[in-house]
Amino acid sequence: MTSPNHLSVRQALQAMEAGELTSEALARACLERIAERNAEVQAFTALDPAWTLEQARRSDAEPRGPLRGIPFAVKDVIETQHLVTAYGSPIYSGHQPQTDAACVARVKEFGGLVLGKVATSEFATQTPSQTRNPLNLAHTPGGSSSGSAAAVADFMAPVAFGTQTTASTVRPASYCGIVGYKPTFGFINVAGLKPLSPAQDTITILTRSVADAAWCGFGLHGDRVSVEPVAAPRLAVCYSSQWDAVRPEMAQAIEDLAAAAERAGAKVTRVRLPDALESIIDLQGRLFAFEARQSLAHERQHHADQFSDRLKARLSGGENIDSDEYLSMRQTALIARQNMGALFDGIDALLYPPAQGEADEGIADSGSAQFGALWSLMHVPCVSVPMTKGPKGLPMGVQVIGPYGSDLRTLQVAAFVEELRKR
């Protein structure tokens, strides 16, 4: 029999509804896996097993909602009332929030439970946590949602909350061989998330299947959404200047995927990123630096000695940006979003790299975030879907990117892409 922690969210729900599984058994299996593996993987930062099992027993006694009995891992920049939230920084060691973040409260409202807190890069920026890629402990899991991706990939949790401001979900998902769903900006409420760049911060979902990502993402709104693959999606491989940094194996894998999609009935074209969008790729980083410098103003003024050198350098990039430039950047991004629909004329979704290639060796760096920058700035839904393996035997994924607000359709296209691996 499959161990409960290896079940998908949908499989676990079906088993619970059939009386073949309890939430307590599922949570216990996840906790046993954490006890077995976390010393090596270092995904979880805070646990209270007795409390988690108590939540599960309550769920079994009064099952309700689309998330009934499902244990969520929560990225450590998302506040939890019961478990400490340190935001990946020594400044907040032992910090105990007074309330749950909105997304955590919604999990509980619709029947789910909190499994534990998982590691994040420092304030969800570039300085990595100690988390390792569970598929090869000598390699990075990506960042900043490092613990979220590692926990799901290693069967410690069926689902985890992550965040993305640049590429903090799509890259770790690609590196760890799982699904990373960055919804349309604002789809999941960010109250209780430590702000970094409020113009771009997005709470995300990491799972082992597209169907699970859709179920959990929409389940936070009380909806029960079953995603089926689109029969014949209209896809476009989107090229840009960023492809200069893509490794040959990633570029070839996306071309191979496009060919497989055509054989499976998809219409596949090639498009070039318009100059108007190319010109604002670098704007994302400057906007990030300005807003992060403000968001972390208290910490910067009172605890800068506990910042990493990398964070200090990144925040310094916002020093010489004045209010006029900031408002201009916001206006430029808004106009680009308003005009972005043209890129999707006759196209359901774009195919784009989520990373340069497979996960790099070592954990001192979590890889380049550049491939999520534009799409995070544009507020569009993105789904990183496992695609193939690279030359070192580690996963590589592909980004499926849809128009603003087209989350359900984008997930349906992502499900089509997911199915190509089984053909």
Q: Which of 23, 75, 117, 368 is catalytic?
A: 75
Residue 301 in tokens: 């003024």
Query: Is-cis flag, bond preceding 144, omega within 30?
Result: yes
DSSP string, 190-244: -TTB--S-TTT-EEEEEESSHHHHHHHHHHTTT--------SS-EEEEEE-GGGG
Q: Which of 168, 209, 240, 295 is catalytic?
A: 168
> What are 389's strand-pairing partners?
395
Supply the Cα-derived Rg of the chain in whole angstroms. Answer: 20
- The answer to whether residues 378 and 340 touch, using CB atoms and an 8 Å cutoff, is yes
Q: Does the active-site annotation cover 75?
A: yes
Q: Does the active-site annotation cover 376?
A: no
Residue 368 DSSP code = -
End-to-end CA distance of the chain: 26
- Strand, helix or coil for residue 26: helix
What φ, ψ does residue 270 adopt, rounded to 5°?
-120, 135
Cα distances (Å, whole numbers) of residue 417 to 47, 86, 235, 310? 35, 37, 10, 36
Q: Which of 59, 89, 121, 144 is catalytic?
A: 144
CA gap 102, 187 in Å, rounded: 12
Residues catalogued as catalytic: 75, 144, 168
